A and B are shown apart, each in its own frame.
Chain A
Amino acid sequence: MKLYELTAHELHDKLMGREISSVELTNALYERIDEVEDKVNAYVTLDKENALAQAAKVDAKIAKGESISVLAGIPGGIKDNISTKGLRTTCSSKMLGNFIPIYDAHVIERLRADETIFLGKTNMDEFAMGSTTESSYFGVTRNPWNLERVPGGSSGGSAAAIAAGEAIWTLGSDTGGSIRQPASFNGCVGIKPTYGRVSRYGCVAFASSLDQIGPITKDVTDAAIVLNSICGKDEQDSTSLNVEVPDFTKALVQNVKGLRIGLPKEYFGEGIDPRVKSEVEKAVKKYEELGAAIVEVSLPHTEYAVITYYIIAPAEASANLARYDGVRYGYRNLEAKSAAEMVTLSRTEGFGAEVRRRIMLGTYVLSSGYYDAYYNKAMKVRTLIRRDFEEAFQKCDLLLTPTSPVVAYPIDGKMDPLSIYMLDVTTIPVNMAGLPGISIPCGFVDGLPVGMQLIGKVLDEATILRAAYTFEQATGYHKVFAPLGGKHND
Chain B
Amino acid sequence: MTKYITVIGLEVHAELKTKSKAFCSCSTEFGGAPNTHICPVCLGMPGALPVLNEQVVEFAIRAGLALNCDIKYFNKFDRKNYFYPDLSKNYQISQFDKPICLNGYIDVDVDGVEKRIGITRIHMEEDAGKLVHSGGNISTSDFSAVDYNRAGVPLIEIVSEPDMRSAEEARAYLENLKAILEYTDVCDCKMQEGSLRCDANISLMPEGATEFGTRAEVKNLNSFRALVRAIEYEVERQKEILENGGRVIQETRTWDDANGKTLSMRSKEEAHDYRYFSEPDLVPVELDDAWVERIRAELPELPAQRQARLIAELGLPKYDASIIVSNKAMAEYFDEAVKTTKDAKGIANWLLGDVSAYLNNEGITISEFKVAPAHLAELVNLTKEGVLSSKLAKKVFAEMLKGDKSPKILVRELGLEQVSDEGAIMKLVEEILAENPQSVADFKAGKERAIGFLVGQIMKKSKGKANPTMVQAMLKEKMQ
**B285's closest neighbor in chain A, by CB?**
A238
Neighbour of A236 across the interface among B45, B51, B88, CB < 8 A: B51
Report the separation of the CA atoms of residues A368 and B269 in the bound assembly, to the nearest whole angstrom: 13
A-chain residues with CB within 8 Å of residue B43 when the two chains form the complex: 328
Report the separation of the CA atoms of residues A458 and B380 in the bound assembly, to the nearest whole angstrom: 74
Number of interface residues of B (CB under 8 A): 31
Q: Is the CB of A363 closer than 8 A to any CB of chain B? A: yes
Q: Is the CB of A105 closer than 8 A to any CB of chain B? A: yes
Q: Which residues of B contact A (CB under 8 A)?
A: 40, 43-52, 79, 81, 83, 85, 88-91, 138-139, 144, 146, 273, 275-277, 280-283
Report the separation of the CA atoms of residues A239 and B451 in the bound assembly, to the nearest whole angstrom: 88
Query: Is A315's CB under 8 angstroms from B277's CB?
Result: yes
Most buried by B among A91, A202, A367: A202
Given A83-B46, A200-B49: A343 and B273 within 8 A (CB)? no
Query: Is B47's CB under 8 angstroms from A202's CB?
Result: yes
Report the separation of the CA atoms of residues A366 and B79 in the bound assembly, to the nearest whole angstrom: 11
Q: What is the CB-to-nearest-CB distance from A197 to chain B, in angstroms, rounded to a whole number?
A: 15
Neighbour of B91 across the interface among A102, A239, A322, A338, CB < 8 A: A322
B-chain residues with CB within 8 Å of residue A329 when the two chains form the complex: 45
26 A-B contact pairs sorted by A residue (CB < 8 Å): A96-B46, A101-B45, A103-B40, A201-B49, A204-B47, A205-B47, A236-B49, A236-B51, A237-B49, A237-B51, A238-B51, A239-B281, A316-B280, A318-B275, A319-B79, A319-B89, A319-B90, A319-B91, A324-B46, A328-B45, A328-B88, A328-B146, A340-B83, A363-B275, A366-B275, A367-B275
Within 8 A of B (CB), among A229-266: 235-239
Write out, one digit per residue, whether chain A residues 290-318 have a CB within 8 A of any chain B CB (1) or not (0).
Answer: 00000000000000000000000001101
Query: Is A89's CB under 8 angstroms from B282's CB?
Result: no
Query: Is A327's CB under 8 angstroms from B146's CB?
Result: yes
**B274's closest neighbor in chain A, by CB?**
A368
Within 8 A of B (CB), among A204-223: 204-205, 207-209
Neighbour of A238 across the interface among B79, B83, B277, B282, CB < 8 A: B282
B-chain residues with CB within 8 Å of residue A371 when the two chains form the complex: 275, 277
Given A322-B81, A327-B146: A83 and B47 within 8 A (CB)? yes
Seed contacts A101-B46, A200-B47, A328-B45; 12 additional CB < 8 Å A-B pairs:
A89-B46, A99-B46, A103-B40, A105-B47, A200-B49, A208-B281, A316-B280, A339-B138, A363-B275, A366-B81, A368-B273, A368-B275
Given A328-B43, A343-B83, A366-B81: A319 and B50 within 8 A (CB)? no
Query: Is B277's CB under 8 angstroms from A375's CB?
Result: yes
Query: Is B90's CB under 8 angstroms from A323's CB?
Result: yes
**A364's closest neighbor in chain B, by CB?**
B275
Q: What is the CB-to-nearest-CB distance from B89 to chain A, in angstroms, rounded to a whole number?
A: 5
Given A235-B51, A323-B89, A363-B275: A91 and B46 within 8 A (CB)? yes
Report the separation of the CA atoms of residues A91 and B48 in the bound assembly, to the nearest whole angstrom: 14
**B23's closest neighbor in chain A, by CB?**
A238
A-chain residues with CB within 8 Å of residue B51 when the two chains form the complex: 235-238
Query: Is B46's CB under 8 angstroms from A323's CB?
Result: yes
B-chain residues with CB within 8 Å of residue A236 when the two chains form the complex: 49, 51
Q: Is the CB of A82 closer than 8 A to any CB of chain B? A: yes
Q: Is the CB of A203 closer than 8 A to any CB of chain B? A: yes
Q: Is the CB of A325 closer than 8 A to any CB of chain B? A: yes
Given A102-B40, A319-B79, A323-B89: A202 and B282 within 8 A (CB)? no
B-chain residues with CB within 8 Å of residue A343 when the two chains form the complex: 83, 85
Query: Is A82's CB under 8 angstroms from B83's CB?
Result: no
B-chain residues with CB within 8 Å of residue A238 when the two chains form the complex: 49-52, 281-283
Query: Is A209's CB under 8 angstroms from B46's CB?
Result: no
A-chain residues with CB within 8 Å of residue B79 when the two chains form the complex: 319
Interface of B is mostly: loop
Report the separation of the CA atoms of residues A367 and B281 in the bound assembly, to the nearest whole angstrom: 21
Q: What is the CB-to-nearest-CB distance from A127 to chain B, in angstroms, rounded to a whole number?
A: 10
Report the separation of the CA atoms of residues A316 and B79 in the bound assembly, to the nearest whole angstrom: 10
Write out, one digit per residue, whether chain A residues 351-385 have a CB within 8 A of any chain B CB (1) or not (0).
Answer: 00000000000010011100100010000000000
How many A-B pairs have beta carbons closer than 8 Å: the answer is: 107
A-chain residues with CB within 8 Å of residue B50 when the two chains form the complex: 238
B-chain residues with CB within 8 Å of residue A340 when the two chains form the complex: 83
Q: What is the CB-to-nearest-CB distance from A95 to chain B, in angstroms, rounded to a whole number?
A: 10
Neighbour of A338 across the interface among B40, B47, B139, B282, CB < 8 A: B139
Q: What is the CB-to-nearest-CB distance from A375 to chain B, in angstroms, rounded to a whole number?
A: 6
Given A102-B40, A238-B49, A238-B50: A339 and B85 within 8 A (CB)? yes
Report the separation of the CA atoms of residues A205 and B50 in the bound assembly, to the nearest whole angstrom: 12
Report the separation of the CA atoms of residues A316 and B48 in the bound assembly, to the nearest whole angstrom: 15
Given A325-B83, A367-B273: A103 and B45 within 8 A (CB)? yes
A-chain residues with CB within 8 Å of residue B283 when the two chains form the complex: 238-239
Q: What is the CB-to-nearest-CB distance from B118 to chain A, in angstroms, rounded to a whole number?
A: 26
Write out, one digit per residue, whether chain A residues 31-52 have a CB within 8 A of any chain B CB (1) or not (0).
Answer: 0000000000000000000000
A-chain residues with CB within 8 Å of residue B47 when the two chains form the complex: 81-83, 101, 105, 200-205
Report the separation of the CA atoms of residues A202 and B146 in the bound assembly, to the nearest whole angstrom: 24
Write out, one digit per residue, whether chain A residues 53-94 have a CB within 8 A of any chain B CB (1) or not (0).
Answer: 000000000000000000000000000011100000101000
The list of the 3 closest CB pairs from A to B, nearest first, reads A322-B90, A366-B275, A208-B280
Report the separation of the CA atoms of residues A239 and B52 in the bound assembly, to the nearest whole angstrom: 11
**A321's closest neighbor in chain B, by CB?**
B90
B-chain residues with CB within 8 Å of residue A102 when the two chains form the complex: 40, 45
Most buried by B among A200, A209, A323: A323
Report the separation of the CA atoms of residues A338 and B142 in the bound assembly, to the nearest whole angstrom: 9
Report the separation of the CA atoms of residues A327 and B48 in the bound assembly, to the nearest whole angstrom: 17
Report the separation of the CA atoms of residues A176 and B248 in the bound assembly, to the nearest whole angstrom: 50
Report the separation of the CA atoms of residues A318 and B89 in the bound assembly, to the nearest whole angstrom: 11
**B86's closest neighbor in chain A, by CB?**
A327
Q: What is the CB-to-nearest-CB distance from A138 to chain B, in angstroms, rounded to a whole number?
A: 17
B-chain residues with CB within 8 Å of residue A82 when the two chains form the complex: 47
Report the separation of the CA atoms of residues A323 and B51 in the bound assembly, to the nearest whole angstrom: 18
Report the separation of the CA atoms of residues A44 and B327 in the bound assembly, to the nearest whole angstrom: 61
